[in-house]
A and B are shown apart, each in its own frame.
Chain A
Amino acid sequence: MPEFSVLELKNITKSYFGNTVLKGINLSVKPGEIHAIVGENGAGKSTLMNLIFGMPVIHDTGGFEGDIIMDGQVVKINSPRQAMELGIGMVHQEFMLIPGFTVMENIKLNREPTKPNLVSKILGSNMETLDYAAMRQDSIRALEKLGLEIDENAYVSRLPVGYMQFVEIAREIDKKRARVIVFDEPTAVLAESEANHLITAMKRLAEQGISILFITHRLDEVMACSDTISILRDGELVKTLTREETSVEEIAELMVGRKVERGQLPSRSVEPDDDDIILELKDLTVEMPGERVRGLDLKVRRGEILGIGGLAGQGKVGIANGVMGLYPATGEVIKDGEALKLNDPKAALDAKMAFVSEDRRGVGLLLDESIAVNIVLTSIEAQNKFLRRTILPGVHLLDQKAVREYALKIIKDLDIRCTGPNQPVRRLSGGNQQKVCLARAFSLEPEILWVSEPTRGIDIGAKQLVLDLLVHFNREYGMTIIMTSSELNELRRICDRIALVYRGKVAGILKPDASDLDFGLMISGKQPVKEVG
């Protein structure tokens, strides 16, 4: 690898209103290098990236100290446009694609090649016609660099989510002289298998000499692809390491600054038993797009934490959504010997089940409502709690005082970091939003709690807190918890048993301490060495 740097940061310091968020950062990126930047939320990663990309938020708040050096020369980056001209691209965390445009139109968005015509000679270059042939050529070239063959005329709205990311990347590398591309948590919205594709693509780009700044939470991915790893903590660059000389454990430790514990879980007075079944699913099918369940059978023991794992698209996410009546389901769901009415969310709630959705911001929360309202909403609707009678028969009013008191208690119990119960949940961090979701489910006092992807998109420290909370619910209140997650490690950390779903059916159930080999085999539908439960 060449010794000179394509991008170098020297002594970068940035503060927002006297609050220093970056302290003396030194960083250098070599050509064709994948440089991972890891750190908890609030460690300063986003600020650093905004700074490199010249986002207005940096300059609106007084700029920064220190130098950005490209090819040995100090450069000023005052706007995203300048960054682009210098060859810096950015792949955003949320898709910046226009769904009603084709792949090609998105790749060339606002950079379309044009041909002059009669009108444009009079009215200026804005009236030049688009050169579709050139657009197509450029798009195909960019997609080829990624090793991706998709129809450049396909509408983006009809692409699977995982591939939208590639269209974004194609757009970045199509930009002239793309030399450094910043990936801002690109895998946050992707399932494990899709993330693997992305990593392959990143490696391809690096081979072609494009440097990559890779921001992520997922340490496995860091280890899978990066050459160099920089760890940020509280605005400081703690350490820069090469991949060969480090390990996941070391990075995690440096990042969090406290030891990651995989401690013993508290024990129960009565351990779950195969003879005491709280819930049974028979021949369940769920028509959830992309996550179909096809004739699944599963028994859930009272008081256990049951994990549901599997690759994306195999149907693990569909189970909870089907049982809770959010997607059309058929088959039998038997709770405590009684058949549950399917396709009726109210019936599911009445059967003392609660659900924390994987789509936290879409289904899980009313983002612009307060924490208090979000916590009690389902209880009000489904169980008529927090209401007081009025003189008029049938007219109930919200008992504001009870809501507030309850919210305050929950905020304290679950340690939700906020300014108070009236703060809109939109402004909370991912981890705290998830706690609000859990609090809402908890206030229904369910016997069975379904939790889907509880740690998606939240940082490591908060992940542990959420998992601890689930264990707490389970041990203290005897709640049966059924947890769906793409991350096997967290399932193995807190579950009693883990059911692996393959092609819409349970491939098998494993103990959390089963070998990696067994998990690996079963997740891809092959018969494991031994089976339990």
Chain B
Amino acid sequence: MNEPKIAPQTLSEKTVKLKEGKNLELILGELSVPLFFTALCLLGIIAAGLNPRFLVNEIITRLARNSFLVLSLIIPVIAGLGLNFGIVIGAMSGQAALIIITHLEIGGLPGFFLAALISVPFSLIAGYLTGLVLNRAKGREMVTGYILGFFANGVYQLIFLVLVGTLIPMSNPKMMLSSGIGLRNTMDLIAVNKALDNALLSSLRLGPFKIPWATFLAIGLLCLFTAYFTKTKLGQQMRAVGQDMHIAAVSGINVDRIRLIAIMISTVLGAWGQLIYLQNIGTFNTYNSHEQVGMFSIAAILIGGASISKATIWNALIGVLLFHTLFVVSPLAGQRILGIPQVGEYFRSFLAYGVIAVALALHAWQTKKKAASRDKE
């Protein structure tokens, strides 16, 4: 932030005195969450005694797998909608598209792109409906979005467990339950397995590590898009709406429409993020894979230092790095220290939920401190 210059005021003898800029303490305060988790990661790495090559390899995989999803959270934060638990709905749209291309047996990169294309109308419609609901729940977007995720899950199950094979004519013994109604529990994505990861320069290794170049390219493009977007007219309108809906409305901005657009963009990005995630894993659990997408992505961006009202590309990327390092390290560390294998599983869920609680609490504490220091000035 620039140091504001104090210019002489021609109106009177008094000069305009601006309040002081950010001080070191405040900057450290903002970084306290990522710093805390960095320390935790380092401790975990030491305790787990991992092979560094294994660790780096894992982290590369997980960065590629998750970054897109986490980045899809940024735009709603800018528009003042908080952390969008609704990306779960986007993830379901992505999965629906994957089910379609698997049924049509279109594989490889064309299959992947076709899935991306098919997911757009699904997620646009889903995002539009989500946005309509969230516009009626101003100020309570996060919890509303969270519950909407559960509701959408019900609709998703209805479609793929009941309607497929009855109302929706489909017959595909490989994908469907033996009764002929509903899809199987697990979808095998052999056709699009690592379709994007291996699309570009798949033989080019960085030292001993295999890099999913095309996936990183997609993530890079999304970063560029997000950065560009905030500098557009629409982005500026979103920032205005995010800061103060009333003032934005008085300035002639259609607040509800802007919020709707933000949620729709996020939902589409969430769908694509889920596609990237699943093509990397190669198989998915028809009725569960999407469930924790929102929770894990939000945990990651919060660890990266984002808050309900502020999120940047760096928050997303650093968050993914830290969160997934912990994810890799902590079960192993737990096992090595306590010697019980099950502790690892426990650690995973403990971590995801604990992290959201800790991050939200830390942010609440910081907001309070910031307000207090503002009062002191």
Contact = CB atoms under 8 A, between A and B. Distances in A.
Interface residues of B, number: 36
Interface string A123-136: 00111111000000
B10 to A, nearest CB: 5
B253 interface: yes
A473 interface: no
B350 interface: no
A112 interface: yes
A197 B251 contact: no
B17 to A, nearest CB: 7
Contacts of B253: 110
Contacts of A98: 240, 243-244, 247-248
B9 A149 contact: yes
A130 B11 contact: no
Contacts, number: 106
B252 A110 contact: yes
Given A98-B240, A158-B4, A150 B16 contact: yes
B10 A149 contact: yes
B250 interface: yes
A147 B11 contact: yes
A151 B8 contact: no
A155 B20 CA distance: 11
Contacts of A130: 231-233, 236
Given A96-B247, A119-B228, A105 B4 contact: no
Interface string B1-43: 1101101111110101111010000000000000000000000
A518 B10 CA distance: 29
A402 interface: no
Contacts of A92: 250
A158 B18 contact: yes
B4 A154 contact: yes
Nearest to B258: A126
A526 to B, nearest CB: 15
B237 interface: yes
Contacts of A97: 247
Contacts of B231: 129-130
A333 B252 CA distance: 52
Interface in B279-311: none
A127 B10 contact: no
B10 A129 contact: no
A120 B234 CA distance: 11
Most buried by B among A129, A153, A200: A129
A101 B239 contact: yes
B243 A148 contact: no
Pairs A-B, 5 closest by C-beta atoms? A149-B7, A110-B251, A126-B234, A154-B4, A158-B19
Interface of B: 1-2, 4-5, 7-12, 14, 16-19, 21, 228, 231-234, 236-237, 239-240, 243-244, 247-248, 250-253, 375-377
7 contacts: A92-B250, A98-B243, A110-B251, A119-B228, A149-B8, A158-B18, A201-B11
Given A96-B250, A153-B4, A160-B18, 14 more contacts: A99-B243, A100-B243, A110-B248, A119-B228, A127-B232, A128-B233, A146-B11, A149-B8, A150-B16, A150-B18, A151-B7, A158-B19, A289-B376, A289-B377
